[in-house]
Structure 1
Amino acid sequence: MNRNARNHKKTDDQNVQGLRKVSFWEKYGAKRFPYRGRRRYSPFVYRSEDGGIVISNDVFGLTIRQFERTYNACLDRRKTHEQYILNIRYPDKTSDKYMEYLENSRYNNTDNLSWTRSDLKVKLLFENLVHIAGNEIDMRKRQQLFIIKDMITNISESGITNISSGSLAEGIDLPGSDMDIMFVIKEVDIIRDVRNIKHPLQNTTLVMETDNDNPGFAKLKLIEGGDGRFITPESFNSSVQGLYLSVNQFVSNLNNFLPNQFSLHGPCISDEVKNVDLAYCLRSKYLPYSTMPWASRYRQQWPPNSAIDKIKKCGCLLVPIGPRHMTYCDELWRLSFSVAEKHLVHSFNFTQLLCYCLLKLTLKRIVNTNKRVEDLLCSYFLKTALFWVSEEIDIETFQLTKLFVCFSKCLDKLLLWVQKCYCPNYFIPEHNMFLGKVNSDNNIILLKILNVIKCDGIDRLTNQIFPYNVGSLRSRRTSEYSSSMIDFLFYRIDYLDIVSDMSHCLKALMFTEYLIKSKYSAFIIDVCKQYHASISQYAAQLLHVPSRSITTETYNIHKRYHKHLQDGIKTDSVSGWLLYASFYYVTGQFDVTLRLTDYVLSRCSPDMLTIGCPNYSDEDLNNYRSHVHHSMTLRDRSRNATVCRVKYHQNSSLIPRELRLEVKGGVQMIPPTVMSHCLRFLCYHHLGDISNRQQSLHDLNRENQNYDFNITV
């Protein structure tokens, strides 16, 4: 059979569309095309109706099919090991690279998730959780927000290091979440072995002696010093072994450093409405020897090695509180791994974070509704259970479609612990955290409640935690809603405690400028710009008192004032302008001051959002959203929809001379309407306008009553 003749005949044929078939030889000038398959025909290239190319014969077809099989197998492997691959590529999930991946990844859009018919119940649970807790980008933004705040706050060389802790700093913002801050005292160095001492010693030096009878606690023995701001010679108990730092004496000394609105509750400090919890503590740069097995013990893929390395470098904290089950333990300090736990939560994937939220909501809305067990469990125990489960099972188990499976494994872990009355600390398993809480006398009822949650399944759990149908929610969690909630979190924590020193302010300004240029997320860049504006308000008040006479020297000083004040007006709609009004008042330009206060009063409408409130209502949210839209930057939203109390610092150059006795003891925060009427009263007094002065005094008294704010004029 003449195959070449038959092949040549095909090339002379016309197809039905009138297009001539182009052979491989003709198109590419190839004389030979070796192919060992059964069909030795030359391949042909056809033009399709849509202008594409069709290849006849299976010379290429076999290769394409092989490629498709290999490619699909690669995709299947990648999907199967997705979380493992992400942990390798992005070990730090608070990094800019991971945020860029989230914002550019189509998989981050939860609407595109493929749910099977059997996953519909998990989908309902997932949608309810996302509506309350937010999507992964929301959680990562919260984590980055607190990281940035701590970095800027700690740029000054004060005696305290601020560390944001608790669920908010971990990215979890659930109803009722408060803010926890650890104040680490820098004047004390803690070592775990006298061989770690480096001479000469600069600070008070203590050696950490772990207690074998009380794992998770340590004694602090004095090696050198002992006479500082927070720790005095009276802070130590004397024994045969040496001088040991007293817990009770250390806590009692803290009363000398508390702000007026804070009070001491045991080892912690709370504000009047208990929305902020502060804890003074000490830091050891070294992990105790009892944690050494944690770093090297067998585990699955979590936590990643990078997180373990970070934790080994960050050391631990020591908090002035002893074992709960001991009535008197004046020398035992609790080992706290708050910083390490924050690193661990930051390495969680989205499913782990949602599982953490689900555990916390289960505790609050189911377990703690029973008065007999409401104080037995705490969210820290639940987080510890999640740590253990995450370490013991394959990371690929933590898929969104397996959310309830992950929750059930954590619940099983809790059931086992409650049954044994033993909750092992994640870093020191010998430390039973149930001591003084869960015991054989009260664990029976708790076991019943947890077993009921387990047996009722996902339907009952969803109905109890979310007593509504996600489809009937008045508004799904849109991107605009998520943006507003992130804004509100920033407004709640928008306060920087910068030391009143110009060099520290300039250092902080330079650092925020560096962050603005280096960060990827548009929201985080806007946050840095807001902090830059707030620090500029600090800096303006630390300049020399402006003079009313104009010389070359005063001109340069005024130029610096205008630079910082112009940057400072970008924080919100009024506080920066009030500082500007104070500047013009101090320099004797009363007419300009009156015009600026007119503007400030015109912006202080009741529907404006006040920055710095511990909580915001649905009405606040609706008013805020009516002033802003999604295309605005955070700076524009702040200037359009928020007001902030004006902050005068002690010895500020912008304080009116008549009010300097009122601003003492740190920072005086004055409502903008109160300060506006006060400045107007003073201006009219100097201008000799008696009628307007009396009217301003009347308005000032009215505003003082509204804010319950007293100021002597």
Structure 2
Amino acid sequence: MLRMAKASEGKSESLDFYKYLCQKIGSEKVVKIRRLVSTVRDIGQNGKVITSGSKGEGLDLNGSDVDMMYVDPYGKVYQTETEVQSQIYPLPLIMNTEETQPCFTQLLILNHDIKTTPNVLQKHHRGFMLSSELYKLSCKNVAQVSIPALFSGKIHGPCISNKEDTLDIAWCFKCDKWIFQAEPWVCRPRTTWPPPEIISKIVSSGVLIVPIGCKGSTNEHLEWRISFSVAEKFLIFSFSHTQLLCYAMFKVLLKEVVEKYQNLKGLFCSYFLKTLMFWILEETDPYLWRPDNIIPCFMACLQRLLYCVRYSILSHYFIPENNLFLLRFNTNNKEKIINILENLYGIGIDCFASSETLQEYQRLSYKISESFISRNSSFLQQVMLIFRNAYTNGRAARVLRLMYNFLNSSRTVLSRFVFVLEISEASMYFSEETQYLNSAGNKHHYFRYKHDLSYLVIGLHSDAVSGLLKLASFFYVHKKYIASLTVITHTLQKFTNEKIDIRFFRYTKKLSHIQKYVLSLMKKEKLYTIIKSLTIHPFGFGKESSIIPRELQPDVTRIYSSFHPLSFAYFLNFLCYYHLHDLTSCRQSLQRLRQSQWILSEGGTIVCQPESVNTVIFCGIAHQLLGETYNARLTFREADGLDKYNLTSAASRLSSLI
């Protein structure tokens, strides 16, 4: 009877802790939304981009960076020369694993015409090899020119990272076939996980080849690592929610507890924990992984990690011949890690007491029933991540890909909802790619006008403001000033206190009192309706956009330039009245534009960001158009002083007036 009471008590504690984890790490539905968001994003990129790492897996833990893999379309990897059907495009790369450790390969250039890639090749006794080291340097140079976020990028393992270490991008090549080294994995004995359908998907997905060699190898600079990132996503997506939460607990323990100890940072990595979870799940009964058993499950995982460290053995999941812990530890840090893990195991779930993410458990009661407000706040936070990347090239093709997948792959209400949002957001940029003919009465011109207008109307369904502003700018560019003013007036009515600005919400993850109140009034509405009517997306234009006002073309010189939507609305209002020769309304719009600067201020001082500097530039352009050269000069000088990194047109506009 006593044992039954203790068992019941243990189940109760596990259930409480499970509910607590669902709030702190994410409920099953929130995880599903995160995964849908990243999957739809990847679909829109036609298989060239793969979201990996924690965010791609459906987790959003403290300190998690964004991991992206770009599949280089200019090369394709084959295991043997006999597999190559064409030697022209993409460039055939032949794997050479005879001189490398398990999980690594060299890439031999089969095509002997090396004129197109001489800067990344090195002569080898077997021919010309693609150097992983030179390839990364080449990718870094490209990133610094084409991707502003990586302008000060640095090489981190196989990736190019930004200065803040919040974004890792790995350029890689793809091998469409399952490699010989991993063939035994397909048919090795296992319990019930992974199921046959997942194994089939994994085998058909092939592997990626990333630019990093085996540490300490004499040919490290020529070697590439075989990456199973796509396969690993399939496996993690097959986790039950209890299993995923245990994996997340592992990551929290590593980052927020173990790595706080001196000289241990970087000794472990998330990949080790993921590998350990794969082995454990393959060997255990799925029935054990229940919410009411989550604490014993996690403690068993911790015990397994302790065993692996003690005996310096952690086999790669797909290629077990590769021991990930071989020569990983020296005598000192190994003993230190063992002592730490033993102590953490000894105190049970209290091992999270010093972690930032899970430290509150012992202080709070978690007989949790999530409120509508907190639930929708969580959902909003995840869905809004769809729009964190403001602009990418090829939106026209992307819309078509999304439409195709929406019609053929969308089977649930949630997936349809995410697809519709992404299609609407992508449609806003569709018309930017159109180049109109100069002939005013041209039939093609009229057709493109109606065609682009239809996509901009679709874009209205993505948020409350930015879609409308795109439409207003479209009308302005086509000299339909009255139509533009009508849309602007409607847009300005949307700028109310309950609107949620995605940019700020993404960082604060908090709602104001009025936003919470409005959400409570909309509790019966679908999440799609809430997103459409309450959110404001980042606003801007891509380089060479066909719908940007000509007065702003000097300000759009990069891949994407952002503007504050409210100040842009007042500026466009000014431009329309200017061309209608209504000077009184022009000055009223300029006055409102000046007032809008305070929305972008902190304590009365404008924040030195491109958006806020561009607001000052708007005022300078307005003064210049009105013939007020002195005021224009003063305003451009103010903007130039704020633009510390020369990201705007302030300096050039000022010099043109001196």
State the TM-score, normalizing by the size of structure 1.
0.75
Provide the rounded CA distance (Å) in 2 between the counterparts of 1:234 and 1:407: 49
Matched, 1:668 2:561: yes
Structure 2 match to 1:355: 246
| Residue 227 (structure 1) shift | 5.5
**Per-residue displacement from partner, 1:528-562 (whole Å, max 9, x unpaired)?**
11112122212233345499967876654443343
Where does 1:351-430 land on structure 2 (aligned, <5 Å)?
351-430=242-321
- Match for 1:125: what amino acid? F
Structure 2 match to 1:137: 29
Q: What SS is found at the alignment partner of 1:330?
A: helix
Structure 2 match to 1:104: none
Provide the rounded CA distance (Å) in 1 between the counterparts of 2:575 and 2:328: 60
Where does 1:211-290 land on structure 2 (aligned, <5 Å)?
214-224=101-111, 232-254=117-139, 255-257=141-143, 258-262=146-150, 263-266=152-155, 267-271=158-162, 273-290=164-181
Structure 1 match to 2:639: none
| Residue 435 (structure 1) shift | 5.0
**Per-residue displacement from partner, 1:212-254 (whole Å, max 9, x unpaired)?**
65222111111116669xx712210102221111122111211
- Match for 1:649: what amino acid? G
Structure 2 vs 1, CA of residues 292 and 521 (structure 1 numbering), >3 Å: closer, same or farther?
Answer: same
Task: Kindly indicate whether the alpha-carbon contact (under 8 Å) linking 1:527 and 1:634 is maintained by their aligned counterparts in 2.
Answer: no
- The structure with the largest alpha-carbon Rg is 1
Select 1:644's aligned residue among 526, 532, 537: 537
Q: What SS is found at the alignment partner of 1:128?
A: helix
Structure 2 vs 1, CA of residues 416 and 698 (structure 1 numbering), >3 Å: closer, same or farther?
Answer: same
Structure 2 vs 1, CA of residues 348 and 500 (structure 1 numbering), >3 Å: closer, same or farther?
Answer: closer
Task: Kindly indicate whether the alpha-carbon contact (under 8 Å) linking 2:15 and 2:292 is maintained by their aligned counterparts in 1.
Answer: yes
Provide the rounded CA distance (Å) in 2 between the counterparts of 1:244 and 1:400: 51
Structure 2 match to 1:174: 61
- Match for 1:276: what amino acid? L
Structure 2 vs 1, CA of residues 127 and 500 (structure 1 numbering), >3 Å: closer, same or farther?
Answer: closer
Select 2:93's aligned residue among 191, 206, 224: 206
| Residue 578 (structure 1) shift | 0.8
- Match for 1:264: what amino acid? G
| Residue 625 (structure 1) shift | 3.5
| Residue 501 (structure 1) shift | 6.7
Q: What SS is found at the alignment partner of 2:110?
A: strand
Higher alpha-carbon deviation: 633-642 or 431-440 = 431-440
Provide the rounded CA distance (Å) in 1 between the counterparts of 2:536 and 2:608: 15
- Match for 1:369: what amino acid? K
**Per-residue displacement from partner, 1:183-206 (whole Å, max 9, x unpaired)?**
011221111112222245432111
Task: Kindly indicate whether the alpha-carbon contact (under 8 Å) linking 1:123 and 1:401 is maintained by their aligned counterparts in 2.
Answer: yes
- Match for 2:282: what amino acid? E
- Match for 1:708: what amino acid? Q
| Residue 331 (structure 1) shift | 0.5
- Match for 2:507: what amino acid? Y
Task: Kindly indicate whether the alpha-carbon contact (under 8 Å) linking 2:501 and 2:535 is maintained by their aligned counterparts in 1.
Answer: yes
| Residue 493 (structure 1) shift | 3.1
Structure 1 match to 2:573: 680
Provide the rounded CA distance (Å) in 1 between the counterparts of 2:589 and 2:438: 27
- Match for 1:631: what amino acid? K
Matched, 1:122 2:23: no
Higher alpha-carbon deviation: 217-226 or 591-600 = 591-600
Structure 1 match to 2:38: 146
Structure 2 vs 1, CA of residues 285 and 134 (structure 1 numbering), >3 Å: closer, same or farther?
Answer: same
Where does 1:2-151 land on structure 2 (aligned, <5 Å)?
116-151=8-43
Structure 2 vs 1, CA of residues 225 and 284 (structure 1 numbering), >3 Å: closer, same or farther?
Answer: farther
Provide the rounded CA distance (Å) in 2 between the counterparts of 1:227 and 1:622: 63
| Residue 587 (structure 1) shift | 2.5
Q: What SS is found at the alignment partner of 2:506?
A: coil
Provide the rounded CA distance (Å) in 2 between the counterparts of 1:436 and 1:621: 52
Matched, 1:511 2:399: no
Higher alpha-carbon deviation: 375-384 or 332-341 = 375-384
- Match for 1:661: what amino acid? P
Structure 2 vs 1, CA of residues 463 and 188 (structure 1 numbering), >3 Å: closer, same or farther?
Answer: closer
Structure 2 vs 1, CA of residues 188 and 595 (structure 1 numbering), >3 Å: closer, same or farther?
Answer: same
| Residue 323 (structure 1) shift | 2.7
Provide the rounded CA distance (Å) in 2 between the counterparts of 1:575 and 1:326: 53
State the TM-score, normalizing by the size of structure 2.
0.81
Matched, 1:453 2:354: no
Task: Kindly indicate whether the alpha-carbon contact (under 8 Å) linking 1:204 and 1:225 is maintained by their aligned counterparts in 2.
Answer: no
Provide the rounded CA distance (Å) in 1 between the counterparts of 2:444 and 2:462: 29
**Per-residue displacement from partner, 1:30-67 (whole Å, max 9, x unpaired)?**
xxxxxxxxxxxxxxxxxxxxxxxxxxxxxxxxxxxxxx
Identity %: 28
| Residue 147 (structure 1) shift | 1.9
- Match for 1:265: what amino acid? K
Structure 2 match to 1:559: 450
Structure 2 vs 1, CA of residues 149 and 334 (structure 1 numbering), >3 Å: closer, same or farther?
Answer: same
Higher alpha-carbon deviation: 470-479 or 485-494 = 470-479
**Per-residue displacement from partner, 1:93-151 (whole Å, max 9, x unpaired)?**
xxxxxxxxxxxxxxxxxxxxxx9334222223212212212332332332233222211
Structure 1 match to 2:627: none
Task: Kindly indicate whether the alpha-carbon contact (under 8 Å) linking 1:610 and 1:644 is maintained by their aligned counterparts in 2.
Answer: yes
Provide the rounded CA distance (Å) in 1 between the counterparts of 2:503 and 2:439: 34
- Match for 2:43: what amino acid? M
Q: What SS is found at the alignment partner of 1:660?
A: helix
Structure 2 vs 1, CA of residues 543 and 234 (structure 1 numbering), >3 Å: closer, same or farther?
Answer: closer
Structure 2 match to 1:588: 479
Provide the rounded CA distance (Å) in 1 between the counterparts of 2:222 and 2:400: 39
Structure 2 match to 1:304: 195
Select 2:75's aligned residue among 178, 188, 203: 188
Task: Kindly indicate whether the alpha-carbon contact (under 8 Å) linking 1:546 and 1:586 is maintained by their aligned counterparts in 2.
Answer: no
| Residue 586 (structure 1) shift | 1.6
Task: Kindly indicate whether the alpha-carbon contact (under 8 Å) linking 1:134 and 1:477 is maintained by their aligned counterparts in 2.
Answer: no
| Residue 682 (structure 1) shift | 2.1
Matched, 1:570 2:570: no
Higher alpha-carbon deviation: 272-281 or 238-247 = 272-281
Structure 2 vs 1, CA of residues 280 and 458 (structure 1 numbering), >3 Å: closer, same or farther?
Answer: same
Task: Kindly indicate whether the alpha-carbon contact (under 8 Å) linking 1:505 and 1:538 is maintained by their aligned counterparts in 2.
Answer: no
| Residue 174 (structure 1) shift | 2.7
Matched, 1:320 2:208: no
Gaps of 5+ in 1: 1-114, 155-159
Provide the rounded CA distance (Å) in 2 between the counterparts of 1:620 and 1:261: 28
Provide the rounded CA distance (Å) in 1 between the counterparts of 2:172 and 2:159: 10
Structure 2 vs 1, CA of residues 287 and 580 (structure 1 numbering), >3 Å: closer, same or farther?
Answer: same
Structure 2 vs 1, CA of residues 458 and 557 (structure 1 numbering), >3 Å: closer, same or farther?
Answer: closer
Structure 2 vs 1, CA of residues 242 and 225 (structure 1 numbering), >3 Å: closer, same or farther?
Answer: closer
- Match for 1:122: what amino acid? S
Higher alpha-carbon deviation: 313-322 or 392-401 = 392-401
Provide the rounded CA distance (Å) in 1 between the counterparts of 2:28 and 2:95: 39
| Residue 694 (structure 1) shift | 5.0
Q: What SS is found at the alignment partner of 1:183?
A: strand
Task: Kindly indicate whether the alpha-carbon contact (under 8 Å) linking 1:650 and 1:663 is maintained by their aligned counterparts in 2.
Answer: yes
